[in-house]
Amino acid sequence: MTTPNKVEETLGGAIVHNLPFPRDLDDAALAGLKQMSPLQVEQRYCITYLHSYGQDSPWFAALTNRVLLGSRDPASGYTYANPRGHDMATGQPTDWVVLPDQGRVHAFTVCHFGSEEFLPECPYVLALIEFEGVDTLFLTRLVGVDPAAASLGWIGMRVQARYLRNAKLRPTDVYFMPAIHE
């Protein structure tokens, strides 16, 4: 095995900002370095992040199987559209329940700006969905409507759950569309 004589160089893709440096390094130039602006190095940063969904894991597993779960306080029957491990009023553990695939639009908003993941979809519609027998609302995307033609007529509209074919194990794996009347 031979010892390399130099370090192999590759293009790293970094962009450097504020890189003035004097060609002549006389005493005045060296003294001026104290006033130099800090270098700024722009480079991609990638990290693998392992996290746990903890007690909400069944909710995400259900989405991958095209099932929407909620939770219910066994004593009072109060039912949450978004999962809660414990009842908000009593603090007692809740039970998992299957939510209906159909609901109605309770309220909506048109989003003209969103996080990086949603920027390509702007404008998009977020809606609060109400389900029969469920005490809280479910926040989700409403697809299949024209954000440029938002209408109060959407309030009360019957909607149907849809699921991403390739689940990403994110809340956005489920969305709603206007229900097809048969």
What mean pLDDT do residues 14-41 have?
Answer: 82
Q: What is the pLDDT of residue 115?
A: 80
Q: What is the pLDDT of residue 1?
A: 67
Tokens of 69: 């779960």
Q: Is 15 inside any structural domain?
A: no
Specify the amino acid at residue 76.
Answer: S
Q: Is 98 inside any structural domain?
A: yes
Q: What span, in angstroms and rounded, lies between the C-alpha atoms of 63 and 12?
A: 40
Only one residue has tokens 């491990």, namely: 85
Q: Best-predicted range by mean pLDDT among 9-13, 53-57, 115-119, 153-157?
A: 153-157
Q: Is 42 inside any structural domain?
A: no
Count how many domains the chain has.
1
Tokens of 116: 């990086």
| Whether the bond into 58 is cis, omega within 30 of 0 | no
Q: Is 21 inside any structural domain?
A: no
In the structure, what pLDDT confidence band is assigned to residue 132 with cuts at 50, 70 and 90?
very high
Provide the residue range defining the domain that includes 120: 54-178
Q: Is 41 inside any structural domain?
A: no
Burial class (CB in 10 A: 0-12, 13-18, 19+), 144: middle
Say yes or no to pLDDT of 69 above 90: yes
Q: Is 34 inside any structural domain?
A: no
Provide the sign of the torsion angle of the four alpha carbons 104, 108, 173, 176, taken in this order. Answer: positive
Q: Is 46 inside any structural domain?
A: no
Tokens of 174: 């489920």
In the structure, what pLDDT confidence band is assigned to residue 101 with cuts at 50, 70 and 90?
very high
What mean pLDDT do residues 89-106 have?
Answer: 96
How many CB atoms within 10 Å of residue 177? 14
Q: Is 112 inside any structural domain?
A: yes
Tokens of 15: 């962009």
Nearest CA among 163, 175, 170, 136 for reference residue 53: 170
Only one residue has tokens 């929407």, namely: 68
